[in-house]
Amino acid sequence: MVRIRTKQIILYLIGVLLLVFGYPDFWNKVIDYHRLKEEIKRSTQEAEEAISQPFEVQELVYDSNSKRWKNKQHYFQVIHLGKVNFKSKQKVNINTIETNDDENASDSF
């Protein structure tokens, strides 16, 4: 029969407490682990909901007057323009110089 003394139990508990509270990053890692676990759970639920949703179906109606198919629903179409240069063509005044240097700033307002 194994005899457990109260002194051994107390020393064991003190060791466990020092191990848990003496390690400064322990609680941060535990919190991060639970946060990551909840995030993974949430993302899997969102993926399951996205999979379970039925496909979107839109009705096309043939217009005999214009001989075209028309969509009753409002929709947006993406238009790719290719390489577009959006640089602004501003006139640059060469005579003015702007600096953020406090030593060279003038004292007059």
Tell me which of 43 and 52 has the higher pLDDT: 43
Query: Which tokens hold the place of 14?
Result: 């003190």
What lies within 8 Å, CB to CB, of 68 at 6+ separation is 62
Contact in structure between 83 and 76 (CB atoms under 8 Å):
no
Rounded CA-CA distance 15/19 in Å is: 6
pLDDT-derived band at 38 (thresholds 50, 70, 90) equals very high
In this prediction, residue 94 carries a pLDDT of 56
Rounded CA-CA distance 78/2 in Å is: 77
63 - beta bridge partners?
68
pLDDT-derived band at 19 (thresholds 50, 70, 90) equals confident
Mind listing the pLDDT tens digit for each residue in 65-106? Answer: 988 888 877 777 777 777 766 665 555 555 555 555 566 555
Q: Please name which of 80, 81, 62 lies closest in space to residue 70, comparing C-alpha atoms.
A: 62
Tell me which of 45 and 107 has the higher pLDDT: 45
Rounded CA-CA distance 36/31 in Å is: 9
In this prediction, residue 97 carries a pLDDT of 57
Give the residue carrying structure tokens 């004292």: 107
Tell me which of 2 and 18 has the higher pLDDT: 18
